[in-house]
Amino acid sequence: MEGNLRVLRAGTPAARQAVARLRERLSALEWLDNAAYRARVRKLFGAVLPPEQVVARIIAAVRARGDRALLDLARRIDGVRLTRRRLRVSDAERRTGYRRTPRELRAALEKAAERVLEHQTRLLPVDVPLRASRRGPPGVKAGLAWSPLRRVGVYVPGGTAAYPSSVLMNVIPAQVAGVREIAVATPCGRGGELSDGVLCACEILKVRELYRVGGAQAIAALAFGTESIPAVEKIVGPGNLFVMLAKRAVFGHVDVDMLAGPSEVLVLADGTARAEWIAADLLGQAEHDPLASCVLVTDSAPLARAVQRELGRQLASLPRAEIAGAALRDWGVALVTRDLEEAVALANTLAPEHLEVHARNPGRLAKELTCAGALFLGPYAVESLGDYVAGPSHTLPTGGTARAFSGVSVHTFLRRTSLLCADAAGLAALSGVTEALARAEGLEAHRRAVAFRARSYR
């Protein structure tokens, strides 16, 4: 068994097609060819709709009917029967979940929380004090002030697995930034139950606002508010395709961190790398989701074939082998390049969420790798460390959006406000330039606002 990983020579038509498909991985068109998806959507909405339209209908329902829509969608989509009172998790439930959590896991969450807190605190920016330009005049000063958002929503994914680490990675940066109100939304089980690990993480961080709601409807509730869930100013956190599309749809009504959808990893390796370790790292992403992307880019064909064989061996004993196998089959590929220069170019083209570098000199290559959510340099900087305990947040841009977006950090929850201070002499000194520019743009009121003051000074 070879773990379903295709090995392709970079630059061939098959490889170019694979790269193009990876770049359009979350295209809705492929979902319309999925029989299970078509049947489910037809049953829910009476017609076969692409994911964007499914999300649009869910958002419209929540905006129109609030809590009633949340309860109805939970029943119809997830088979969960809730009441309005149970949407919000009680303090007693959260504390009970904390007590039920095994001591080893509690200790691990507390240790991880300490490291994330320390790292995010180091990242806090400082205000730029008012200062005059070296070019003068001394009476005009500019600066910058940072201030936290007032209220944010954190989405914690659920479904096929529970992610208490996502609570830490998104809530702690917000707390360090000074956000006063943090609302966490997460899917629940059919009986309304939540993961003890998620409850424990919320208790450790003293999160008091936790809701049993998942999917696109959770994003809609956080963005627009319902009777039970006050609206937020920004939504952060990873999720599935529908969560990602919902975040994209509500952007502008609220801010969002990025488009963080199904997970992905790209391992860039030379012939010195260990196939066993690379296979384990590819499976570490594949077990998340059938849509997870797992890519090896290497200048060593023997390494690619060894990884292919090793994937089959490890997959056979993996508890989530069905999910991981589907991800490898549909979104796994090994691309063999002429040299490392071509490998770096391919990595930048794909702009992955996680980019591991298994090579002789990872630091040198890192300077050339400019498009990734996070870089993991050297074979011991395993991506799992970043997921849980290293310190930086594991909420990162996916789907190639790392070309322009960055991962969650304390900066995600801060606003920048520019500061300007001027005295009469300073305004007068710059009035000629200002009036000339206003006149050129045809904005006479702008010009007069300066002229009146300058005339008064003179």
Catalytic residue among 264, 288, 310, 354: 354
Same domain, yes or no: 350 and 431: no
Q: Is residue 397 part of a domain?
A: no
Q: Are 301 and 336 in contact (CB under 8 A)?
A: yes
Instruction: Give residue 76's domain range.
Output: 30-84
- Cα torsion 167, 168, 169, 172 to 10°: value is 110
pLDDT at 34: 80
Amino acid at position 435, single letter: E
Express each pLDDT in 432-454 by its tens digit: 999 999 999 999 999 999 999 99
Q: Which of 84, 107, 124 is the last residue of a domain?
A: 84
Q: Are 251 and 170 in contact (CB under 8 A)?
A: no
Q: Strand (E) positions, 139-284?
A: 140-148, 151-155, 181-186, 209-212, 234-236, 255-256, 264-269
Same domain, yes or no: 235 and 307: no
Q: What is the distance between the alpha carbons of residues 208 and 191, in angstroms, rounded to a whole number?
A: 21
Q: Is residue 126 part of a domain?
A: yes
pLDDT at 432: 95
Q: Give me the half-sphere count of Cα atoms (radius 13 Å) on the Cβ side of residue 347.
A: 32
Same domain, yes or no: 299 and 253: no
Q: Is residue 348 part of a domain?
A: yes
pLDDT (mean) for 390-417: 93
Express each pLDDT in 89-130 by its tens digit: 999 999 999 999 999 999 999 999 999 999 999 999 999 999
Same domain, yes or no: 371 and 451: no
Buried b (16+ CB within 10 A) or exposed e, 224-261: bebebbeebbbbbbbbbbbbbbbbebbeeebbbbbbbb
Q: Which of 217, 245, 260 is the last residue of a domain?
A: 260
Same domain, yes or no: 183 and 242: yes
Separation of CA 357 from chain center: 21
pLDDT at 344: 97
What is the band of 289 on the pLDDT scale with cuts at 50, 70, 90?
confident
pLDDT at 27: 64
Assign residue 97 the CATH number of its domain.
Answer: 3.40.50.1980
pLDDT at 2: 55
Same domain, yes or no: 219 and 113: yes
Pairing assessment for the beta strands 6-9 and 332-336 based on DSSP bridges: parallel
Is residue 119 part of the annotated active site? The answer reads no
pLDDT at 162: 80
pLDDT of residue 29 exceeding 90, the answer is no
Same domain, yes or no: 70 and 184: no
pLDDT of residue 423 exceeding 80, the answer is yes
Express each pLDDT in 175-228 by its tens digit: 999 999 999 999 999 999 999 999 999 999 999 999 999 999 999 999 999 999
Same domain, yes or no: 189 and 313: no
Same domain, yes or no: 62 and 103: no
Quick one: which H or E segment has residue 324? helix 321-331
Q: Is residue 207 part of a domain?
A: yes
Average pLDDT of the chain is 94
Is residue 350 exposed (0-12), middle (13-18) or buried (19+ Cβ within 10 Å)? buried
Same domain, yes or no: 237 and 360: no
pLDDT at 241: 85
pLDDT (mean) for 247-268: 93
Q: Is residue 400 part of a domain?
A: no
First to last CA, the chain: 86
Q: What is the distance between the alpha carbons of residues 408 and 153, in angstroms, rounded to a whole number?
A: 13
**Residue of 279, 301, 302, 264 lying closest to 3 (CA atoms):** 279
Q: What is the distance between the alpha carbons of residues 339 and 274, in angstroms, rounded to a whole number?
A: 18
What's the domain count of the chain? 4
pLDDT (mean) for 150-177: 92
* Percentage of the chain exceeding pLDDT 90: 88
pLDDT at 297: 98
Q: Is residue 37 part of a domain?
A: yes
Is residue 2 exposed (0-12), middle (13-18) or buried (19+ Cβ within 10 Å)? middle
pLDDT (mean) for 65-70: 97
Same domain, yes or no: 177 and 221: yes
pLDDT of residue 160 exceeding 70, the answer is no
Q: Is residue 433 part of a domain?
A: yes
What is the band of 153 on the pLDDT scale with cuts at 50, 70, 90?
very high
pLDDT of residue 66 exceeding 70, the answer is yes
pLDDT at 4: 78
What is the band of 1 on the pLDDT scale with cuts at 50, 70, 90?
very low
Express each pLDDT in 339-384 by its tens digit: 999 999 999 999 999 999 999 999 999 999 999 999 999 999 999 9
* Percentage of the chain exceeding pLDDT 70: 97
Same domain, yes or no: 146 and 190: yes
**Residue of 190, 200, 204, 211 lying closest to 163 (CA atoms):** 200
Is residue 353 part of the annotated active site? The answer reads yes
Q: Which of 241, 260, 279 is the last residue of a domain?
A: 260
pLDDT at 159: 62
pLDDT (mean) for 227-236: 98
**What is the DSSP code (8-state) at residue 377?**
E
Q: What is the distance between the alpha carbons of residues 398 and 213, in angstroms, rounded to a whole number?
A: 23
Least-confidence region, from 26-30, 113-117, 255-259: 26-30
Q: Is residue 414 part of a domain?
A: no
Catalytic residue among 203, 310, 353, 356: 353
